[in-house]
Structure 1
Amino acid sequence: MIKQQEGATVDSRVKVAIVYYSATGNIAQIAQEMAETAEKAGAEVRLRKVAELAPRAAIDANPAWVANDSATADIPVAVADDLVWADAVIMGTPTRFGNVASQLKQFLDTLGGVWQQGLLADKVYSGFTSTGTLHGGHESTLLALANTFHHFGGIVVAPGYTHPDKFADGNPYGTSHHDAGGTAAVDDTVRAAARVQAERVVRFARAIATA
């Protein structure tokens, strides 16, 4: 607890919403790593997935998609209030033609009402991604996601090259994974980068919330 004034206290825990879309599970694994890290850093965390738009037939045709759908069945679906509640928001999306996946974009497009009320402003925002090919849009996807954060009036906190693990990961804009067309699992390098990013987001969100 932080002393606010004599006789009054405020909760020092920052609130972090981690909102993501994941088809075959890479983004879901990174989101989970970030959620655990943020909690260890003292944050209250809401882990949320956005609604699936793909037809059931498409999901059932891909064993990895089916497995992730089952593994994350208990994760609540994101709603606007999850962002309004948060001091910091970390969003994750696979790359789709160098851009944000339609499932996450659809969720973003539902936020007009709370955006118009100014309820998304002055929060910390950060992003992460995964691609199927080595140069498949890591940076362009994260930069595209940041465009939305700017429109919200958010404070974009990128991990940058602020830690040795980010030089290994190689992406200053956010954590990113290359799954080599579905053959490469989320590895220790990606997990370490995710931890760096989550800790940095919590640190900046706390500094802003208690300023």
Structure 2
Amino acid sequence: MGNVRLLIVYYSTYGTNHAMAETAAEAAREAGAEVRVVKCRETAPEGVVNGQDAWRAQAERTAHVPEATPDDMAWANAYLFSAPTRYGVMASQMRAFIDTLGPLWAEGKLANKAASAMTSAQNPHGGQETTLLSMYVTFMHFGCVLVPPGYTDPVIYASGGNPYGTTFSAGKPLDDATKASIRHQATRLVQVAEQLAGGAS
């Protein structure tokens, strides 16, 4: 390994997707990737964020994490996005970041890169699969090469059996099965990205 530059872009209101992103980053680094973890800019009004203790606490905990930029996207040759579901699609903060990428997309600088996605919701049927699909539709517009986990390892079944990407019912710490699923997904993404890189830096 050594040719993979993985950008992990996450949005996290209360901490679940941040924890998922950090778990993926650890696995990707162990697989040989250079990894950047960045967060989407908060678009909710400051008064709303500060009005909820858990939301404010998460913002304070991750104040040191850099915000995602188009330059990060240009740097990477692989992407892993993680964001909670909102009414069956990705959170608006992730969508707002994606909507800044038009110039890069028009130049073809997002194409031919391996991409995968993760998400969470309050319950198993809160739109998790449609949220992943909404992110994959965006990746298809970019011209990315989709790298879902599929059923490529038994850990997928242990964590709920979602072949599209790791999903988690928020409100509690990540369990071991979910962490194993995230690690497998991130490692598989790095492996495919390495194959696409073809040994070129």
Report 1 or 2 for greater relative contact order, CA contacts < 8 Å, sequence distance ≥ 6: 2
Amino acid at match of 1:144: S
Structure 2: gaps (5+ residues): none
Q: CA deviation at 1:128?
A: 0.3
1:7 maps to none
1:31 maps to 21
Query: Where does structure 1 differ by over 2 angstroms across 4 or more consecutive aligned residues?
Result: none
Q: What is the CA RMSD across the aligned residues, in angstroms?
A: 1.1
1:194 aligned counterpart, secondary structure: helix
Structure 1: gaps (5+ residues): 2-11
Verify: 1:195 aligned to 2:183, yes or no.
yes
Which shows bigger deviation, 83-92 or 58-67?
A: 58-67
1:176 maps to 167
String of CA shifts for 1:86-137, please: whole Å, max 9, x gaps.
1100001100000011000011011000000000000001000000122001
1:137 maps to 127
2:29 aligned counterpart, secondary structure: helix
1:8 maps to none
Query: What is the alpha-carbon distance in structure 1 between the residues aligned to residue 177 and residue 73 of structure 2?
Result: 29
- Highest CA radius of gyration, 1 or 2? 1
Amino acid at match of 1:191: K
Aligned residues: 198
Query: What is the alpha-carbon distance in structure 2 between the residues aligned to residue 37 and residue 69 of structure 1?
Result: 24
- 1:15-30 mapped onto 2 (5 Å cutoff): 15-30=5-20
Query: What is the alpha-carbon distance in structure 2 between the residues aligned to residue 186 and residue 78 of structure 1?
Result: 24
Query: What is the alpha-carbon distance in structure 1 between the residues aligned to residue 47 and residue 107 of structure 2?
Result: 39
Q: CA deviation at 1:141?
A: 0.2
1:149 aligned counterpart, secondary structure: helix
1:136 aligned counterpart, secondary structure: coil
Amino acid at match of 1:95: T
TM-score (norm 2): 0.95
1:111 maps to 101
2:191 aligned counterpart, secondary structure: helix
